[in-house]
A and B are shown apart, each in its own frame.
Chain A
């Protein structure tokens, strides 16, 4: 047991637990309303939104998985950089429209918007179900992040006893999310982000100093991993995989329910826009975090006998914890591990709230209990958020982690299928609602098939074009199929005169700075 690391870790963990429960009193609102519990009453200004979105989007899994990919596979893992770089200009252009229309009509989920825009309960349901399916494995992966750092501090028991610290951490999280709603992760995100920045800044200065500078670190990387595989006579090499992974992930990020929840909780359209100019600070941090993978290679942690059993168990995911333990003082490793663990709690809380909002608003109230009271609605959401977390916990404790990883990979392919209804829907309702539903179906089927053809081990599909291989992100390929079906069928429906004009929104709703509730 690593006592200095564990002590620092526990102190920080207790601190955020107190904050989580205290958050219920922060900017006090009626927590028996889903708008207050699930969106913090849409009262977060620029700064809180910055912490909340940063804490929400850059998850513990990111901090473990991105450097792990760079550690194991080299340059291709760096796709996270062009990915996060493109997200913010894209969201800056498109998503203030979602904020405005949601504020005006009291929408709390993207499915609410789609249902109103296209007057289609089915389309709303499809968007809600896709969101829930994509979110659940993502929550489970946050737990994997906590598991790795807990193991790194010397808890290496097996079975249920080994998982006990994880279970305790998650039950505490479930309790304060239940009582405080979105206010809890918003408050804890501030602590998380400060810890992450401190960790990253110290790590990228101190570790290269030990390893003889950045030049030496890059010298330790095998040449075939240092750059992307170049095109050959029969393929584009890794170029298309790199670009499509980055672009597809950038398009998909704000379709995830937890991103939408973070975005809609902002107090103004200006706060959303300002954040898109300020959030790239996290992209810089992520680029530096990715380099930790190379530092782990240069430090040779994979060959140290004391870490061998961990690498056997967690694979490349153990690269970053091993690097910290090897290169930094124990107490600082404890701080870094707390940053990662708290970095798992914030998105896990927001994801469970977002999934609960979707279930309650778009499935329960829409189909099971129409016209239920506000209090009943909020109560259901709270209960579902508990259920979702217990489900994720059971998944990780009882099943091999690889299932969660594979499902999360599928989740990225699934969530992008909601792009035509949500993103294009923000501009026009030219696409027919039935065409959108069938396009979604086509995209889901093709995308899932592409991942299955790779045995769910990668989301890169080697598309064969007359003997030439174009390897690309299955999400983007399946989105192309989805969009083609949407456009072709819309023409077909219009041709047979299947018109449908009901739209709960009007074009001014999308551009207003200060919409009044309709």
Chain B
């Protein structure tokens, strides 16, 4: 059950990170000239995908 709870909490964090525009609506820090807005959301896809894969592995 606690594993399940951790996953649900994780989903809230992942969704909040995706939806809370003040968090990422900025140019700096940019990487190779790519503004933060773009590379952050790109990385967030990977973070979310890894979290979902872990949830699958944990048989949730």
Q: Which A positions have Cβ atoms within 8 angstroms of B? A: 75, 78, 81-82, 84-86, 88-89, 92-93, 213-216, 218-219, 226-228, 230, 238-239, 242-243, 246-247, 273-274, 276-277, 280-281, 283-284, 287, 291
Contact = CB atoms under 8 A, between A and B. Distances in A.
A226 B37 contact: yes
Contact of A86 (B18, B25, B26, B55): B18
A240 to B, nearest CB: 8
A214 B37 contact: no
A89 B7 CA distance: 10
Interface string B39-57: 0011011101101110110
A128 B44 CA distance: 35
Secondary structure of the A side of the interface?
helix
Contact of A277 (B14, B27, B53): B53
B42 to A, nearest CB: 5
B41 A81 contact: yes
A85 B14 CA distance: 9
B32 to A, nearest CB: 6
B18 A246 contact: yes
B35 A243 contact: no
Contacts, number: 101
A88 B25 contact: no
Contact of B22 (A85, A219, A239): A239
A213 B42 CA distance: 18
A243 B34 CA distance: 22
B49 to A, nearest CB: 4
Contact of B19 (A82, A214, A218): A82
Given A89-B14, A215-B32, A242-B21, A276 B41 contact: no
B32 A88 contact: no
B34 A287 contact: no
Given A88-B48, A89-B52, A228-B25, A213 B19 contact: no
Contact of A85 (B21, B30, B32, B45): B45
Nearest 10 A-B pairs (CB), nearest first? A215-B33, A280-B49, A82-B18, A277-B53, A239-B21, A243-B19, A277-B56, A81-B41, A277-B52, A283-B45
B28 to A, nearest CB: 11
Contact of A280 (B21, B26, B45): B45
Contacts of B37: 75, 78, 226-228
Contacts of A219: 33
A80 B48 CA distance: 15
A82 to B, nearest CB: 4
Contacts of A228: 21, 25, 37
14 contacts: A75-B25, A82-B19, A82-B44, A214-B34, A215-B34, A218-B33, A218-B35, A226-B37, A227-B25, A227-B26, A276-B56, A284-B42, A287-B41, A287-B42
A313 B42 CA distance: 33
Contact of A93 (B11, B20, B25): B11
A238 B22 CA distance: 11
A274 B15 contact: no
A213 B52 CA distance: 32
Nearest to A276: B52
A22 B21 CA distance: 48
Nearest to A231: B22
Contact of A287 (B15, B45, B48, B53): B45
A338 to B, nearest CB: 27
Contacts of A88: 48-49, 52
Given A243-B21, A276-B56, A280-B49, A213 B32 contact: yes
A89 B21 contact: no
B22 A226 contact: no
A194 B38 CA distance: 25
A274 B37 CA distance: 30
